[in-house]
């Protein structure tokens, strides 16, 4: 199974600033996924990061607010820009591994962001 | 669109009890279902992946079942321990025969507390 390292594990940030979250995978993967989990909620997909092309954003998420980089097949970053307290969430990086019969998702340990 | 529901939202049991967590989904064409564990403020750990062709999957004290016809999956935890305390999430992809985990739909989770 894929091993995903995410940094930072947590941060407390001032409103109006930006935070960049890093995600490193121990194997090459085609797609990397960024999720948000707001307090007490389940996970919501922000975007899919493909190497060599623009990220694909889900409804309600825009590139100006959540710019994503994907410089190679093992690394991606998500930036949370111009933060407000409403951005306080856990942000998670995920990859998938495709087997013959199924696709399994794996997640990083998450970045717990608090905006004050 | 796949919708996933988990009942109960929270569960508290004494150590040693066997317990069942429930997950229901709306699209029976699901091709696999995945159970995750999430510790507070952390990422997700994949527990079990059940393919649509399987009815059960076991890992240690955990047993997950899948009944596509009724749109239900259960996670059975035997001989629960305080270390099992966490939130348990189920997730399924949209109901087509191939695809990626990119569109995983998560349930809202069951918060389990095992009392010593």
Task: Report pLDDT digits (tens) over B13-65.
Answer: 999 999 999 999 888 777 789 999 999 988 999 999 998 888 899 999 999 99
> For tokens 């997730």, what's the residue?
B91
Q: Please report which confidence band the pLDDT of residue B97 belongs to, taking 50, 70 and 90 as the band edges.
A: very low
CB contact under 8 A, A104 and B44: no
User: Is the distance from CB of A45 to CB of B91 less than 8 angstroms?
Assistant: no
Cis ω for the linkage preceding A112 (within 30 of 0):
no
Q: Which residues of A touch B101 (CB under 8 A)?
A: 33, 94, 96, 103-105
Q: Please report which confidence band the pLDDT of residue B101 belongs to, taking 50, 70 and 90 as the band edges.
A: very low
Nearest CB to B43: which of A92, A102, A104? Answer: A92
- For chain A, say whether B42 makes contact (Cβ under 8 Å): yes
Answer yes or no: is pLDDT of B98 > 50.
no
Question: What mean pLDDT is reported for chain B?
Answer: 89
- For chain A, say whether B1 makes contact (Cβ under 8 Å): no
List the A75-80 sheet strands across, edge first.
A4-7, A19-25, A75-80, A68-72
Q: How far is B85 from chain A (nearest CA, A)?
A: 16
CB contact under 8 A, A104 and B46: yes
Neighbouring CB atoms inside 10 A of B46's CB total 18
pLDDT digits (tens, 9 = 90+) for A71-83: 999 999 999 999 9
How many inter-chain contacts (A to B, CB under 8 Å) are there? Answer: 69
CA dist., res. B100 & res. B65, Å (int): 21
- For chain A, say whether B34 makes contact (Cβ under 8 Å): yes
The secondary structure of residue B103, as a DSSP letter, is G
Q: How far is B12 from chain A (nearest CA, A)?
A: 18
3-state helix, strand, coil in chain B (%, to 5): 5, 55, 40
């Amino acid at each position: 199974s894929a091993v995903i390292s995410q940094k930072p594990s947590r941060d407390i940030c001032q409103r109006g600033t930006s935070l960049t979250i890093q995600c490193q995978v121990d194997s090459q993967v085609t797609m990397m996924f960024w999720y948000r989990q707001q307090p007490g909620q389940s996970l919501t997909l922000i975007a899919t990061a493909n190497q060599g092309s623009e990220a694909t954003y889900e409804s309600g998420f825009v590139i100006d607010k959540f710019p994503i980089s994907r410089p190679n097949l093992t690394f991606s970053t998500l930036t949370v820009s111009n933060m407000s307290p409403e951005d306080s969430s856990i942000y998670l990086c995920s990859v998938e591994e495709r087997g013959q019969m199924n696709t399994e998702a794996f997640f990083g340990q998450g970045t717990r962001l608090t905006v004050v | 669109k796949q919708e996933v529901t988990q009942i109960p939202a929270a569960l508290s049991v004494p150590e040693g009890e066997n317990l069942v967590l429930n997950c229901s989904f709306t699209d029976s064409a699901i091709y696999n279902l995945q159970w995750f564990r999430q510790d507070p403020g952390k990422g997700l750990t994949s527990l079990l992946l059940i393919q649509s062709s399987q009815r059960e999957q076991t890992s240690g004290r955990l047993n997950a079942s899948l009944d596509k016809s009724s749109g239900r999956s259960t996670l059975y935890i035997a001989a629960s321990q305080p270390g099992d305390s966490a939130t348990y999430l189920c997730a399924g992809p949209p109901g087509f025969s191939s695809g990626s985990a990119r569109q995983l739909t998560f349930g809202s989770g069951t918060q389990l507390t095992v009392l010593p």
